[in-house]
Every structure is written in C-alpha cells, then in structure tokens.
Amino acid sequence: MITKSYYMRVEKIFQSGMQRALSSVRFSRDMTRPPCVLIRAAVLFAVGVLLALLLQAFWPPSVLGLHTTGPPRAGPNTWWLFPVCGVAAAVIGLLCPCIDSRIGGPSLARQEWTMVLRCLAVFVGIIHAGAKIEFGSEERLALTLALLSLGLWWAYDGSWGGLGVGLGNAGSAVLVAHLLLYNSTMTSPSDLLFARSWLPSTFFAGGVTVGNIGRQLALYDWQGAPVKMHTS
Amino acid sequence: METLGMFFFSLTWSTVSFIAHNLNIRLLVCNLRRCLLGVRMPFVAMLKDKISRAFYSHGLMCASYPVPIISFTTLCVLVCCYPLLKLPLPGTGPLEFVSSEKANSALLDGIELADYTQIPSWYVGSPVAYVQQVIVKAMVSPWEQSLIPADAFRAPLSKVFEVIDEIRNHQQRTSERSVNIEDFCLKVSSLLPGLRKLQNFLPEHSCLIVSPANFWQNDLSRFRSDPDIVHTMNQHQTRPFQFSTSLKDLLFGVPPKYGGVSQYYVRERKRVLVFAITIILQAHDSQFVQSLRKKLQMLYPGSSVSRGEASVVHVHFQEEVGIAELVPLVTTYVILFAYIYFSTRKIDMVKSKWGLALAAVATVVSSLLISVGLCTLFGLTPTLNGGEIFPYLVLVIGLENILVLTKSVVSTPVDLDVKIRIAQGLSNESWSIVKTMASELVIVLIGYFTMVPAIQEFCLFAVVGIVSDFFLQMFFFTTVLAVDIRRMELSDLARRPLRETSENLYGLRTRTRSKSVWNRDGFMTFPCNIPLASSSLRTLRLPRRLRVVYFLARTRLAQRIIMIGTVIWIGLLVYTDPTGLRAYIAERVSQRGHIEDGDFSNMALAGFYAEQTDVADVVETRDRWEGFGRDAAGSSRPDSPYMRGPDRRAEITAASGAKRSRGSLKVHAERDLPKEILWDKNDDAIWRRLSFRHWPTLFSYYNVSLASKYISILPSIPLLVTLSADFARSLQHPNEVEQHKMSILHEQSNITEAEPACGKTQHPPTHGHYRAAGLGFILGAVLVGLTCALYKLLCPKDYGQAGHLHRFRPELPCDDYGFAPAISETLPIVLMSGHPLDIECVAANGSMLVTCCLSGSVMLWDALTGELLSVFPRQTCRAGESTWLSESDTTERGQRESVESESVQEFCHGETEILTDFDFAESPLNVDSPHVSPHLPFNFTFSVGTTVGDLRHQNFASAAANNLSDASFSSQRTSLTHRRRCRSPSGDSLNFLGTRAVPGSPSPSGTEAFEAGVAWCLAMKENIIALGCGNGQLEVWDAAVDGLHCKHQESSAGIIHLVCHQKSIVAARIDGMVDFFLLENSNLQNQTWRGDMGSVRPSTDISLRLMHSVCPAHRKPITALRVAAGRVVTASEDHTLKIFKLEDSCCLFTLRGHQAGVTTAYMDQSMTLASGGRDGIIFLWDALTGSKVNHMRGHHSSILSITCTPNYVVSAGTDYKTCIWDRQTALLLYSIPQEPGCSPSFGVVSDSLLVTCGLGCLNLWEMSYGRLVQTVYLSRAEEYELVHQILVVGNSTIACHMGKNINLVCLPSVLDKID
C-alpha cells in the first residue's frame, strides 16, 4: 500500500520541479547577485525542511491510521522527503517577491518580522487544529481548514500575488495527490476524502507563509539592512 | 445559556466601562441626533472624531492619575483570576481514587453507584491490571548471640519461597471446577529487547509474580548455596539516586527504607525484614483472593490482623509527555518567543525598555488569565490543554497595539506635557486600534460559528482575551507608559544641571517648559530655554567615603541580596524535591551518624556485643575489649589472622563463646527490636511510598503502557513471620560465617591499636563515608558555580573599575533617581605646543591638525593621537625658496614689498607700544590689530564684535601683551623642536628666534628674516596646507614632507579668508577681492631645485596658478567665505552675499535681504545657504536658485557663527546664547546660554551632537532633545582656561584652543551611543 507520506513526497517533487522550471525564467535577473539569492534560498530551504518535519510530527502515520496495515515503513525511504520540501519552499519563497515586484505585493506595514511570525504561528495552528481537533466529518474539517487558511491569507498577506501562489500550491498539491491516488491500486475511499479535506488548505496556508518569509528575507537584499525598516 | 451570557458580558464589560467614563453622555446623544437627522458629516468621520476624542480624554485621565488606575487594574485582574484557583493544576503525577471493595465489585457487576459525581472521569472501563501484594514481615526472634548478621536476612528471605509455593499451589474449588492463580494472573510475554540482563530476574511467558525470590530464579537451592545474598540483591542497584525504580525495589515491592536490606547491612540496627510478593492479576475474583488470604493467614497464624474495611485504590497514570508530543509545543513556543523578541525590540526611546517590554508581556498574559478566569466563572470548564493553546492565544491577541501605542506616544513632540503627549498619542492611533480590535473580533466570531466544539472554545477564550487585553492596554499599559515617559523627562531634566543654590541642591526643579499654548496640531509655539548651571555647582563633590557608601547602597547590596535569595531559593527547591536529594542525603546522614557517634566499632560488631550506653556497660565493655585485645594480640602476633589454621579459629570462637556465656553482655537486637512484630495501620498503604514510577516501570518492561489508564491495587495480605534462631542457624552459609569471624578479628586488632582509655576508636572512613563526602563536595562545587553564574548574570558591571574611573571627577548633583549627567571619561589630550604666541588659526582635515600662531610658526599635529608631526620651517627655508622663486618677476617684487610690511608687522609683535602707536591713528577704535595694514587702499570701519576675525584680534592684542615675558621659554622649546625636526639646524634660525623674543630688543634688520608673512588664515585639504598671509602672500605647503610647494603673491592686500576645495583655492582679501587659484602639478624636470638649506624637497611639485580674480567682489570687507557643491559664497559687511561658480568665478547671484552687515554664512552640499547678520536675523537661502527660503529671528545682536546639519541650524551670537533651530520649519527649538566669559564658538559632531564651550570644560548636547549629554573637563576644575575656538576634526575629535595650547578631546563613547 502506498502510504500518505509517499503521496506527499511525490507531489512535492512534482510541484517543486514545476516551480523550478517556472522560476528559472523569471529569476535569471536575480541570479546576477548570487550570494544574496543563495543565502535566501538556503534559509528558505531550511524553513521548508523544518516545516516538513513539523508536518511529519503533527501527522504521524499513527494519526493517519496507516501503521496498522502492512509492515512499518522503511526508514531510508523518508529522509529525502525533507529536502524536497525544502526545495519547494525555496522556490516559493524566491518566487513571491518576484511576483510582488510585478503585480504589487502586500503593504509595507505587513512586512515585518512580527507579522511573519504571527503568520507562521497561525499556520502551525492550522496544522495543529487539523490534526488534533475532532471534527464531525471530513466536510466540516475541510470547510474549517479552508476558512482558517483564507483568514490567514487575508490577515497576513492580502495580496493577489500571495493568493495566486497559495492557490497554485494547493492546486498542484491536490492534483498530484489525486493522480497518485487514482493510479494506485490500493486506494481506499476514506484516504481520498481525507486527502481532499486537509491537503489543499494546508498547502495553501503553507504557500502563503513561506511566501511571507521569502518576502521578508528579500527585504534584506533590497535594503541592505532591514534595521532601517524598523527605525523608519 | 451560560456561555452566551458570559460572551455578552465579556464583550461589553470593558468597552462600556471605557466609553462610559470618557464620553460625555450629552454629547453622545447630541451626536446621535445629529447623525439621525442626517447631518452632512459622514458617519465614519464622525465616528473617528468621537473615538479620537474619547481616547484623548482617556489618555489625559491615565496620565493624571497613574497610581489609582494601576491599582484598580491590578485589582480587576486579581478578581478575574480568582476563579482560576479552583482549576486543578496540571501535572503528570498519578491520580488516585479509592473505592471500597464492595463498591468495586458492585461496579463490576454493573450496578450504578449512588454518588457517581465522585467518580473521576478516567474511572471508565476495566483497569489494566489488579495488583495484589502479599507483604511479609519476618524476623528472627529471639536473637541469639551465635547468629551472624547475615542471618537476619537469610532466614526471613527463605520464607519467600514457601509463600510463593503456597500461592502457586493454591486451589480454590468452586462448584464447577477448581481454579488456581494461573487462571487470574496476568500472563506476560517476553521482556523488551533492551532488558536482556534482567532476563533471569523477571518472569517471562508466565504469570507476572514478582518477589525477592526472583533473585534466585525462585529456586530455594540456589538461595541456599548463595554465599552472599546481600550482594546478589544489590548487584543491580546501579543508580545512586532514587529517582527511578531499581530491580531490587521492583522485586521487593516495598520502599527501600522499609525493606530492611541495605548494602551496608552490617551497620543496620533493624532486623525486621519486609518484602512483598506482588501478584499482578488480570481479572479480579474477590472470592479467590479471599480464599488465598485465608489460606495464607492460616499458614502463618501470627498474622491474623484485625483490619478495617478494605478498600481498592485505583491509580490513574496520566499520559507521559513524549518527544513526539513535545515537537509542536516546542515549535509554537519558539515562534512565540521570537515574536515577543521582535516585538519588544521595537520599543524605543523610552526610559526603561525592559520595563515596558515586561509591562507589555504582563498585559498579554494577564489578559489571558482574565479570559480563562472569566470563562471558568461562567461555567465553562476548559477542556483544551492550556499549554498548547497558550501560544496561539498570545499570537492572536498580539503585542501590536502596544507597540503602536508606544510609538505613537513617543513620536509626539517632546516639549509637550506628559499628559498631553499621552493623550495625543492615544488619540492619533485610536482609529487603527479600534479597527484592529473590531476586525479581530469579527474573525474570531466567524470562528465561533464553525460549530466545532474545540474551535468554539478557543474562539470564546480569544474573544474574552482580546477584549480584556484591550481593557488592560487602555488602563494598565497606557498608565505605565505615562509613568515611564514622565520618568524619562525627569531624567532628562536631571541631566541638565540646575541653577539652584546650595539649599536646593538635590531637589528637582521643574523644567521651564512652555505651558502656554498647545494647539491641536501639536506644534509648540514657544521654544524652551535650557537653564545652565552655575559653575560653582558643578564642582561640588561629595566625600569619597560617602560616595562609596551611596554607590554600594544603590547598586551592589540590592543585587547581592537578590542573588543570595535566588541561590537559597534554588537550593530549597532542590532540597525539598521529595523524590530526590533529600531522601538520599537523609539516608547518608543517618549512616554517617553512626560513625560520628563513636560507637562504630560496636555497630560493626552488632549482634555480638552489647551497646555501650550505661556506665556499667562501659566498664564491662572495656574489660571485655582488653581481654579480647590481649587475646587477639597474643594470638595474632606471630602472623596475620589469615594465615592461621582452622584450629586457631575454632579456639577463638570457643573463647568468644565462653565470654558470651558469661551473660553479662546485652544483645543489641534485643534492645532494638520489639519482642513481637506488629502490623500497624501505615503498613496497609505501604505501596504508596513507592516511587510513582514503580508500576509504570514494571509494566513497561513488558511493553505495557499505563499512560492514561489505571490499575487497581487490592488490599494487601499481611503475613507476619517469626523465625527461631535454630532455624536461622540451620540456613547459615559457611562462607558467611567465616567472613564474619574474619571481620570480628579485624575489628579487634583495630581496637587494640586504638586508645583504650577513652573507649573510642578511630576508624578509617568506609565506602559510604567517601561517597557522602564526594557528594557533598560535588554539591558544593555546583553551588559555587551556580553562585558565580548568578553573580555574573545579575551584576554585569565591574564595580572596581567603575569606582576607579570615577576618581578625580567632579561630582554633579544627583536627583532622586540617582541620576547624574554623564561626565566624559575621555581625557583631553593637551598639545603643549611650542607656539611662542597665541594660536591664531587652526585648520584640520581628517586626521591632521594645523596650527599657526601669531609668530608665524606652523605646526602639524596628528589629530587622533595628539602627536606633533612636524614644524614647518617657514623662516629657515626661505632662502632656498627665494632663489627658486626669483625667476618670477612678480614674486620678487612682491617679496620686496612684503619685506617692508612684514618688518613693520613683525616688529609690532614684539613691541606692543609701537604697535599701538603705529595703528592708533588710523583705527577708529582703541582695540585694533596690526592686521589693518597701512597699505589698505580704502577705509574700513571696524567695530567690536563685527567679524570673526575681530575676536582673534582681541586675543592677539591681549596675548601679545601677556606673553612677552614667557615668550623666551617657549621660543627655546620651539628652537629645540626646530633642531630636531630640521635636517640641518641652522644657527641663524636659532639666533633669530632667541633674539626676537627678547622684549624691547630691536628686531634683526636682515630682510630675509621677515620675509615670511604673518599667517592670517589657514586652510587644509588632504596634504595641502594653504596659508594666507597678512602681506597678501599665499603659501602652499605639503603636510607630508614639511616642504613648501609654492608661493604666490600678486596683491599686497592681506588674505583674510581662505578655502581649499579639491584643486582650487579661493582666497578673500581684505580689500574685498576674491581670488580663485588652481593647484597644478608642474613638471619637475623643468624646475631647477637648488634649495639645500634645511628644507626637504617636495615629492610632487605643485604650482599655484591664479585663474580668476573678482575685483572687487564686495565694496566692504568680506566676512565669510564658503565653498560647497561647486559654489563659492561670500558674505560681506555691505549687507549682501554673493554666489560664484567655482570653475569660472562667474557671479551667479547677489543675495540681498539683510538689513545690516552679514557676519557669517554657511553652505552645505545640499546648496542650502544660511547666513547671519549683525541684526541678529538668520536667513536660509537656496543657493541653486538664489531665492530666500526662510528666516529666523531670535538673536538680539549680531551672529558670530552658524552651522547647518540635515535637521537643524545652529547659531551663536554675541548675545551669549547658542540657538538650535529646526531647519525645515525655522522654529527655535532650544537656546543654550553661554557661560559668561566663554567663547561663542561651537562645533557639531556627527550631525547630532553640539559642542559648546564652558568654563574650563566642553558641554556636549544632544540636539534632538536639547539635553546635556556629557561634560568634558579640559583641566582641573579649579583652574579655568578660556576656550577660544572649537574645531571638529574628523567625526570624533574636538580640538579647542585656549591660548597657546590646543586640547584634543576624543569622543568615542558619545559617538557609539549616537551611532
């Protein structure tokens, strides 16, 4: 049986590959300054890995009810999930400021570390709520998480670019997950429902959050020292 | 219903209370009516206005009554938190529930109990297991002398095998069949893989019955053949601390203290052995258990104990927190702390940053507490895990409002009253605060309608939290902010020295701030005056002893007390830890107590000899010891005891047996032990004293988790067993007997060595003693380390150094807060220049300082270190130059002309009388200078204080008179310097200097001697030093090689202003002419350099070319000349300023506006030109367009100097004050009075720091607040030297010259602060 995290893994690879292809065109300009971009990418990569670890901690296989069937998952298979998540986060985080410069990002008042941290905390809260709270049904879970994610976007991002990135992230995630689910032979309907319910919201919120972090990091590039931002 | 009521209440409680006392009801009604009637005012704008007014009046109230409001708020918080006391504290300890045995069986039968409310929520379903303990108390009684200590364990322990056999073989016959223990007990599989070493001791694949018999695999024969049972039992006692459960505890089933078996059993007095046989049952059949109990009690008849009602105790184990559970928790808390860090970092410009951050965090936390408290009050019991949702709640509530408030209040004008500042700050941000709160409430309300109970609960908490947070922000935090800002202003005030006299030294004087008008825009209408202290107050100093006492009292003592308190507290925490240290220490101490009692030897022989407590006993025992000693000595003298044969041993045994048979000895055990073992009530609950991890540990060995489950502990079955001595003796192991005899012999030999008179023996400390000592040592080291760390943490300052630094510093008056203005620790470097006369002009570039005195000598200093770099040999190298320059006709002619004028002037330097005689007729005033050359083409009228130069002239006049007497001394110094610096010291120059200074002597008549003109002005750019002379000669020197580059002399009119700008030099002459020179690198090959007289050839030759000459630029003397951004500005006495282009000297604009002569001008790179006139008006011009931008009136008499910074304009005038103006609005911000007798000169360091002169000191002011930052004393406080001029070198050094000396003051500390 193909486990859930395997879906996630594959989906992430697909997504990151797609976005890498997308971003390679637009970011050729920024690559003229390799050190800054590389540092940013490294930081975002670390953030992505940490978020993946967190996701793993919140949605352990026991919660998903998957460990009962079949042998326990082999250890070596899971390690490369995290780098893939990191790459995806780096791509999103580098993409977001680029999109902002094209179509206008959130207001500068929102671009502060405190807001970014609040956003991150709400994202963790959304994952937490999805994992821990007993919702009556999958629909309710999906609805609540979607509402929370939209609220996250509205409160901490509010830009069309951020919405687009989040929706793209969520859409690609769902698409890949569903493709995998349909193609695999051992699909159970509950798995599908479950994936439908929490996957899009989580990935939407994750995209918005990582985008926010990326924007904040990009401020360091543009202004040299972000301390100026605080004092001004 | 209740929740709804609570919801409504929480929503309204703070907003209503807030609005009610602020808004005028009448106003509200009026506005409502207006709104209803459709007045044009848009609703939102009206709402905004209302809100801002409400916040304004609220801010006024908060700032007016801080103490009542803070106490009221604290009271509110305490009242709201009161319901929290009812909440159970979270913890991981096990919970107990006691039910009677009958009730338990009833519950099992499905009958519902009457008082079901008492049943805890976890008491659902069946327990994991039932625990039945059979507790055996056994002793050997009566104790006989022939028994060895090990017998006290061996015989009782052997009983365990019997009892276990009985239990295993117990059959209960019911109607259908006979059942035995196998039918009920919990069958366990194998141990966990990691516990292989315990495999032999714990049952596997069978009933889980643990007892001490497991040490010997339930095999009696193994037990009998074990030579050292105590060692066997203790071999797995690896951990010295009793935090966890060891194998021995598991098998014994009783707390180690009760077990009676210790590793050092020989010293134990207790001889009752207690152990338990723990049977874990899977199912509880009370009939079977009863039958077992009856059978066992029948077998051991002594144990028929009358018991009360037996009760079953159910123990619930809470979920253990694992790493997987901790990950989200840790993540959220990390995010929370990062958030708090980033938020509080932005709090700025307040008195106590930490205090405000603390207040902010306290606001948020207490609002959360209020929220939980209110929810509990209204009947909603929190089911969520508080620790998990707490970070989310904090982040939802947020610290943003607080930051916004602080920022808004801080950014209000500093000069307003505190109340008004607070009110204004509040009202500025009122709309955004209300909007944010409303939107947050809306979001949370949306969440409330998700109809998911957990989310609803969270939202409820959040709503109440947000509202109470708003309440606290408005009442608590605003008030704290007001207090803080008031404190900051007080400390600002304290930095300003007071003009009070001695009766009010330590009192505070209210700052003379403008109370007059505050208009709504927040502009101040009147500037504030900064009072300055009289100098006598500044020199006041307290006795040093008193200062030390104050210092100690202020800082060190309090911190030390805190530190000691913390250490004690931590120590108490550690000590009172019930499971940890105390029990261990107590045990160790009790063991060591025997050693210290001095009867260690008796204890070692416990069970053999009587305790010596009675006097008679003492005598007897001594006899006995002596007897033994003789005996042992006699027998053991030939060889060691180990070498003896068995016959000897037998003989000793016989001897001791004979002594024992005397009957005079009391048996230790008889006295210590009760005759009979009793079962007291405490023993029933003996399992309670077990570590709370006892049962989870036991079960975890078999991979059974007790987390969030419970076990039931059945009433234990007590068995009391008394064993006869014969039985014990029959079990003795030969090895043990032998060892025992050995140890006795050993003791005896020790006794003989000890002094028998005192009856006490010194014993080498044993193993346990070492352990206790080691533990004590480690503890002590840890405590010392902890103390050091705490000390470092709490007292970061090095007091010794601070005290040292404050030595020799005049004390400034402190205020109530113990604050005194900072006195600079920088010691000014005094450049003891060799200038024979007063320094005339000073110029500087980044790191070099050039001074020129009236005698014409030029010196070059390092501006950072104060090192004398070189002295320019202006007189000595003159000959070579003249030859070099003689090619030019003009130069030669000029020289000749200059000779005349210079001779006159130089003569005047020496001869004051002649000077006055000479010039008196022409000058309109008595005080005039030799600078007014007789060759002036037209007339000037000078008055006192007209030009900057005038002051110089005055100085010169006085200095020339004063310094004649000591001129010889300094000139000798100069000559020495000359000799050292010049490669070929010439006797001529020495001679010249030596003779010249002699008063009254005629100056040497040689024309060469006075060829170099008196320097009137000096300019420096990189390595180029330009020197403008009174004879109209312009000299260009190289600072790097002390060489003269070139000279230029076309006009005889003296150069009064000189500016170097890149490659050009602009010179203003006294006749109103402005010359533009260009420095060119001339070709070295074409020059024939023949100068060999004491001058070093310049490395690159630079020549001077006169590009343009504007003649006359002004009809009256030029008073100021500035060059910036390609423009040259000249200010003149003819009421105008002119702007020229630097490259082609084209006059761009003539600026008219001053009603009197323009005395000073300043222009910076932004082409903003500031000029000050003799009428006291300052004009701001735009030099690009030539238009007037602004004007400032504030000075009453002529302005002497003016400077612009990006934000301010600073001016100083002859009316003894220095004014700081706002550059944009042209408003007077501060005016600083000059101290009487001080020069009006000032300097600006790094755009924000103003340096003014004081009496013997420099005052450093921060321009943005107008407060005195530092006072730098230039000399000892008793001697005042007047500072003539201040020059800022680079960005951190201030050079001020006072007479012949230059003082260098480096200000790294101030700059660090400002940057």
**pLDDT, tens digit, 9 for 90 and up, residues B902-953:** 444 444 444 333 333 333 333 343 333 444 334 433 333 333 333 334 444 4
Which ipTM was obtained for this model?
Answer: 0.70
Query: Quick count: other Cβ atoms within 10 Å of Cβ B354?
Result: 10
Instruction: Examine the pLDDT at B459 and tell me if it is beyond 60.
Output: yes
For residue B503, give the DSSP letter.
Answer: G
Q: Is the dihedral of CA B157, B159, B165, B168 positive or negative?
A: negative
Best of A67, A111, A114 to disrupt the B interface (most B CBs within 10 Å) is A114
pLDDT band at B1098 (very low <50, low <70, confident <90, very high): very low
Omega before B999 cis (within 30°)?
A: no
pLDDT band at B336 (very low <50, low <70, confident <90, very high): confident
Residues from chain A that touch B387, judged by Cβ atoms under 8 A, are none
Best of A49, A117, A149 to disrupt the B interface (most B CBs within 10 Å) is A117
In this structure, are residues B426 and B58 in contact, taking their beta carbons and an 8 Å threshold? yes
Sheet architecture: strand order including B1199-1204: B528-529, B1228-1233, B1217-1222, B1208-1213, B1199-1204
Distance CA B1024, CA B1098 (A): 11
Write out the two tokens for B225: 């053949």
In this structure, are residues B1209 and B1202 in contact, taking their beta carbons and an 8 Å threshold? yes
Q: What are phi and psi of B508, to 5 degrees?
A: -100, 140
Can you give the pLDDT at residue B511?
36
Instruction: Examine the pLDDT at B125 and tell me if it is beyond 70.
Output: yes
Q: Virtual CA dihedral for A181, A182, A185, A190, nearest 10 degrees?
A: 50
pLDDT band at B872 (very low <50, low <70, confident <90, very high): confident
Instruction: Examine the pLDDT at B471 and tell me if it is beyond 80.
Output: yes
Can you give the pLDDT at residue B1048?
75
Using CB atoms, pick whichever of B398, B446, B450 lies closest to residue A118. Answer: B398
Distance CA B371, CA B470 (A): 12
Write out the two tokens for A14: 């697909």
Which residues have CB under 8 Å from B61's CB, separation 6+?
B21, B22, B69
In this structure, are residues B612 and B668 in contact, taking their beta carbons and an 8 Å threshold? no
Distance CA B1259, CA B1245 (A): 12
Kindly report, residue by residue over B648-661, the tens digit of the pLDDT.
Answer: 444 444 444 444 44
| Strand pairing report for B528-529 and B1228-1233 | parallel
Q: Do B339 and A114 touch (CB under 8 A)?
A: yes
Q: What are phi and psi of B277, to 5 degrees?
A: -105, 115
Straight-line distance from the first to the last Cα atom of chain A, in angstroms, rounded to the nearest whole number:
57
Can you give the pLDDT at residue A86?
86
For residue A69, give the DSSP letter.
Answer: S
- Find the chain B residues whose C-beta atoms sit closer than 8 A to any C-beta of A: 324, 327-328, 331-332, 335-336, 338-339, 342-343, 345-346, 348, 388, 391-392, 395-396, 398-400, 403, 443, 446-447, 450-452, 454-455
Taking residues B779-784, report their average pLDDT: 81
Selection from B238-247, B483-492, B1011-1020, B1044-1053 with the highest mean pLDDT: B483-492
Query: Quick count: other Cβ atoms within 10 Å of Cβ B1073?
Result: 20
Distance CA B482, CA B406 (A): 10
Instruction: Examine the pLDDT at B376 and tell me if it is beyond 60.
Output: yes
CA-nearest residue of chain A to B337? A117
Taking residues B86-115, report their average pLDDT: 56
Q: Is the dihedral of CA B492, B495, B496, B500 positive or negative?
A: positive
Using CB atoms, pick whichever of B342, B398, B454 lies closest to residue A113. Answer: B342
Q: At what angle do helices B418-448 and B478-495 cross, to 10 degrees?
A: 150
Q: At what angle do helices B418-448 and B43-64 cross, to 10 degrees?
A: 120
Alpha helices (runs of H) in B754-810, residue ranges in sequence order: 767-794, 799-805
For residue B555, give the DSSP letter.
Answer: I
Can you give the pLDDT at residue A222?
53
Residues from chain A that touch B331, judged by Cβ atoms under 8 A, are 54, 57, 124
Instruction: Examine the pLDDT at A184 and tell me if it is beyond 80.
Output: no
Residues from chain B that touch A117, judged by Cβ atoms under 8 A, are 335, 338-339, 342, 395
Can you give the pLDDT at residue B1286?
80
Best of A54, A118, A219 to disrupt the B interface (most B CBs within 10 Å) is A118
Can you give the pLDDT at residue B364?
84
Instruction: Examine the pLDDT at B499 and tell me if it is beyond 60.
Output: no
Selection from B382-396, B595-609, B811-825, B1074-1088 with the highest mean pLDDT: B382-396
Distance CA B40, CA B34 (A): 9
Alpha-carbon distance values, A142 to A90, A198, B448, B765, B1094 (Å): 27, 6, 16, 72, 95
Using CB atoms, pick whichever of A124, A134, A148 lies closest to residue B328. Answer: A124
**Residue B940 vs residue B352, higher pLDDT:** B352
Kindly report, residue by residue over A126-159, the tens digit of the pLDDT.
Answer: 888 777 777 777 777 788 888 888 888 888 887 8
- Is the whole model's pTM more than 0.80, yes or no? no
Can you give the pLDDT at residue B556?
53
Write out the two tokens for A74: 């082999």
Taking residues A207-224, report their average pLDDT: 78
Distance CA B378, CA B4 (A): 9
Kindly report, residue by residue over B981-1011, the tens digit of the pLDDT.
Answer: 333 333 333 333 333 333 333 333 333 344 5
**Among the listed residues A217, A214, A226, the one whose alpha carbon sits nearest the alpha carbon of residue A23:** A214
Q: What angle do CA B279, B283, B289 make, to 5 degrees?
A: 60
Distance in Å, alpha carbon of B329 to nearest chain A alpha carbon: 10
Query: Which range (B299-308, B873-882, B1104-1113) has the least confidence?
Result: B873-882
pLDDT band at B758 (very low <50, low <70, confident <90, very high): very low
**Residue B586 vs residue B592, higher pLDDT:** B586
Q: Do A230 and B345 touch (CB under 8 A)?
A: yes
- Find the chain A residues whose C-beta atoms sit closer than 8 A to any C-beta of B: 53-54, 57-58, 60, 112-114, 117-118, 120-122, 124-125, 128-129, 132-136, 140, 143-144, 147-148, 151, 155, 230-231
Q: Do B342 and A112 touch (CB under 8 A)?
A: yes
Write out the two tokens for B871: 């002295």
Distance CA B625, CA B659 (A): 11
**Residue B636 vs residue B730, higher pLDDT:** B730
Q: What's the burial of B1056, exposed, middle or buried (CB within 10 Å: 0-12/13-18/19+)?
A: buried
Kindly report, residue by residue over B1253-1292, the tens digit of the pLDDT.
Answer: 777 777 777 777 767 777 777 765 455 566 777 877 766 6
Distance CA B486, CA A97 (A): 43
In this structure, are residues B1250 and B800 in contact, taking their beta carbons and an 8 Å threshold? no
Q: Is A190 helix (H, G, I), strand (E, B) or coil?
A: helix
Taking residues B470-487, report their average pLDDT: 87
Using CB atoms, pick whichever of B324, B392, B454 lies closest to residue A133. Answer: B454
For residue A76, give the DSSP letter.
Answer: G
Residue whose pair of structure tokens reads 């409680």 in the numeric block: B13
Q: Do B327 and A117 touch (CB under 8 A)?
A: no
Using CB atoms, pick whichever of A54, A57, A133 lies closest to residue B455. Answer: A133
**Among the listed residues B1286, B1281, B1284, B1285, the one whose alpha carbon sits nearest the alpha carbon of residue B1256:** B1281
In this structure, are residues A34 and A27 in contact, taking their beta carbons and an 8 Å threshold? no
pLDDT band at B873 (very low <50, low <70, confident <90, very high): low
Distance CA A129, CA B565 (A): 43
Distance CA A232, CA B374 (A): 40
Residues from chain B that touch A114, judged by Cβ atoms under 8 A, are 339, 342-343, 346, 399-400, 403
Residues from chain B that touch A110, judged by Cβ atoms under 8 A, are none
**Residue B58 vs residue B331, higher pLDDT:** B58
In this structure, are residues B732 and B643 in contact, taking their beta carbons and an 8 Å threshold? no
Q: Provide the percentage of residues in chain B whose pLDDT is more than 90.
A: 0
Can you give the pLDDT at residue B1245?
78
Instruction: Examine the pLDDT at B477 and tell me if it is beyond 80.
Output: yes
Kindly report, residue by residue over A68-90, the tens digit of the pLDDT.
Answer: 333 334 333 456 667 877 888 88
**Residue B670 vs residue B1213, higher pLDDT:** B1213
In this structure, are residues B1192 and B1209 in contact, taking their beta carbons and an 8 Å threshold? yes
Q: Is the dihedral of CA B662, B666, B669, B671 positive or negative?
A: positive
pLDDT band at B576 (very low <50, low <70, confident <90, very high): low
Which residues have CB under 8 Å from A146's CB, separation 6+?
A200, A201, A204
Straight-line distance from the first to the last Cα atom of chain B, in angstroms, rounded to the nearest whole number:
60
pLDDT band at B93 (very low <50, low <70, confident <90, very high): low
Q: Do A125 and B392 touch (CB under 8 A)?
A: yes
Can you give the pLDDT at residue B589?
56
Kindly report, residue by residue over B1060-1070, the tens digit of the pLDDT.
Answer: 877 788 888 87
Distance CA B160, CA B166 (A): 10
Instruction: Examine the pLDDT at B1126 and tell me if it is beyond 50.
Output: yes
Alpha-carbon distance values, B467 to A161, B15, B336, B492 (Å): 33, 8, 21, 36
Q: What is the DSSP string of B465-491?
A: HHHHHHHHIIIIIHHHHHHHHHHHHHH
The chain-wide mean pLDDT, for chain B, equals: 66
Q: What's the burial of A2, exposed, middle or buried (CB within 10 Å: 0-12/13-18/19+)?
A: middle
The gap from C-alpha A218 to its chain's centroid, in whole angstroms, comes to 18
Does an H or E element contain B155, and which? helix B151-169
For residue B208, give the DSSP letter.
Answer: -
Distance CA B603, CA B595 (A): 9
Can you give the pLDDT at residue B577?
56
Q: Do B342 and A117 touch (CB under 8 A)?
A: yes
**Residue B1278 vs residue B1048, higher pLDDT:** B1048
pLDDT band at B624 (very low <50, low <70, confident <90, very high): very low
Kindly report, residue by residue over B501-560, the tens digit of the pLDDT.
Answer: 333 333 333 333 333 333 333 333 333 344 443 333 333 345 566 566 556 555 556 567
Taking residues A193-214, report their average pLDDT: 81
Distance CA B846, CA B1295 (A): 12
Using CB atoms, pick whichever of B335, B403, B450 lies closest to residue A147. Answer: B450
| B1110 conformational bin, left if phi > 0, alpha if psi -120 to 50, beta if neither | beta
Can you give the pLDDT at residue B975?
39
